[in-house]
Each structure stands twice: as C-alpha cells, then as structure tokens.
Structure 1
C-alpha cells in the first residue's frame, strides 16, 4: 500500500484554514471526503461556527461525510479507507477535549499520571494508521503559540502540549502551511 500524504495547516482563528483545507482535499481527487469534526457546541458562538462549517460543506458539489468525534479519534480508524481524504478539524479543540476529559468528576486527564502521554501516543498512532492505509490527511490547528507563554498553569500546560503536537505534525507532514488573512504561506 502506498502511504498517503499528510498536510498540516495552522493559523489564527478565522484565518481561512478550513476553506483552504477543504479546497486542498477536493483538488486531490480522493475517493471519499471525510470531515472529522472535533468541536462541541458548548456555547452559542461555537454552535454558530459549527453551523457555518456544515453549510460550507453542503455548498460543494462533492459529498462530505462528517464524523463528529470530539475525543478518541482512534475510534474512526476502521472507517478510513485507502484513497479517502480526511480533514481533521481541529487539533486545538481535540486537545482541549482530551486534556479536560474527566473535568466533571474533578479528575481531568492532565492531572492523571501519564494520561496525556498516552493520548499523545494514540494521536501519533492514529495519524500514522490513516497514512499507512493510503489516506490523504489534512490536519488543521489554530496557532496560539505566537503569544508569550502564559503565567496560568493550565494555559501553559495546554501551550506545551500543543507545541509538541505541532512539531510532530510538521516533522511527519509532506506539506505544511500557515494561513494569515486567507493567504497561505507554505513552510514545507
């Protein structure tokens, strides 16, 4: 089996990342287009963003299959076939979901021994599995690391984990873009 490709797209909030990623995958002639949505409508603003993304996909002639998976992205491995295009939107939301998993019971992952390390390993395995299965994978993430590191311990921890994930994704990627104001800068 021929390895698929990995494209990493980062940028600020509302910089045009999702539209760029959707067009990138539609231009790759994939057999199916899979949209892995990690967002949870926890407030009105997030619900509006989710609705807008859904409407954008409906507007395209190509058919997108949306899989809503806020956590445990490894559960969709069996659903990804050779030749699929997978748009993972987005790492920052997924990371927050995983980092704070267990918050309601006052036992969030980031406070449990090795919990985040295990989630990071599973993240690596999942992305690698999709690629080895011949999928074209596009991973979107918000760039929140342009600002100084936070003095708030939870935010600093989030920044550190996000930085690790971004570095690994860029190392593994065939293409890496940063979007600003709808303009894409190719870094790799």
Structure 2
C-alpha cells in the first residue's frame, strides 16, 4: 500500500516549508513515525547558507533526520523506512542542480534527452519513496506566474518546472498552493476542489 503524497507549491517566503513541516510533524507524532527531511539546497552563497541554517534551526525542536541530496534523488532510498514521514524541499532547487550537472564537459540543460532521463528517474524515485513512507510531501516554488523569460535556459527551466508540477500533482493525493501563509487546496485526498 502506498503512503500519501502531498504536493505544495507557492512563491518565495509564502510559508510552504513551515506548512509542510507542521503537517508531517502532526502525522509522525500521531503514528510514531520518523521525520525525514531531504534537502536539495547547496550553500553556494551567503544568502543560501543563511537560509539552510534557518531551516535547520526551525526543525531543531523535532527529531528530523536530514539527508543532504542536491542531485541524484534515488540515493536517498536506502535511508527511507516503513512509516517514515518524508519532506523533500525543494523540487525547483533540485531541478536547477540537475540541469547544471556536467556530463562530458557540458551541462545537462545543453544535452538532448538528459533531463528527460533525470525526470523519469526522479518520478520513479518518488514512487519508491511513497511505497515505503506513510506520507511524502514535496515542496516546490511557483515561478510560472511570471512573464516568460527572453533567455533560452530560463525558458527551459520554467518549462521543466511546469511539466514536473503537472506530473506530480496528477500523482498526488493533495495539491496545495500557499499564499501569504495560507493554504489553498486544489486537490484534496485525490478529488479536485472546484471553486
């Protein structure tokens, strides 16, 4: 039996991570499961380092097990156990990391078929995590409300975000968009919410 899958998106500082964490802490407390945090961020500059440290401090009161996994999501599989409550934060950071991994001196974003393979592998990994965990929550940034970029690589990045969001929402039991710290459910327990 598969665990629950929740997809949460929203703008920067919309409250996505805090909402996801609270949801999983509540579930893990009730079910006496482990809290697993899969972190995709890399400390590439002072701002990102500060954000990573803040997230760690925010989770300090609960017994989160953090797995730093900026690429190759499948490498987390040996660490996931039955009845785990898993948060993957975040899809958009993972995507940027994967698009700019090097393959024979070129980035994945420059190679035909490279990202298709990575996306397929990621979606398969999500299925495997879900098959073991009680609840998997995936957090992602909502950047598709912005005007299309004039830069080819930025357009490719946005296109991949859109594709992956659609695939993950289709697989999800719940799809939530955060605005101003408030959740708006577009899909709840597999049913599309009509407004």
Q: 1:82 is matched with which residue?
A: 82
Q: 1:106 Cα shift?
A: 4.3
Give the alignment partner of residue 39 of structure 2, picking from 33, 37, 40: 37
SS at 2:144 equivalent: coil
Q: 1:148 Cα shift?
A: 2.0
- CA–CA separation in structure 1 for the residues paired with 2:148 and 2:182: 26
Moved more, 124-133 or 155-164: 124-133
Q: 1:151 Cα shift?
A: 1.4
Q: 1:134 Cα shift?
A: 3.7
Q: State whether structure 2 residue 47 is matched by structure 1 residue 48.
A: no
* Structure with more of its chain in strand, by fraction: 2
Q: Deviations over 1:126-184 (max 9, x none)?
A: 00011122431000000000112211100000000010110011000001111111111
Q: 1:113 Cα shift?
A: 2.7
* Contact kept in structure 2, 1:10 and 1:142, CA below 8 Å: yes
Across the two proteins, how many residue pairs are aligned to each other? 184
Instruction: Give me the TM-score of the superposition, normalised by structure 2.
Output: 0.91
Unaligned runs of 5+ in 2: 188-195
Q: 1:41 Cα shift?
A: 0.6
* Contact kept in structure 1, 2:85 and 2:133, CA below 8 Å: no
SS at 2:27 equivalent: coil
Alpha carbon RMSD of aligned pairs, Å?
Answer: 1.2
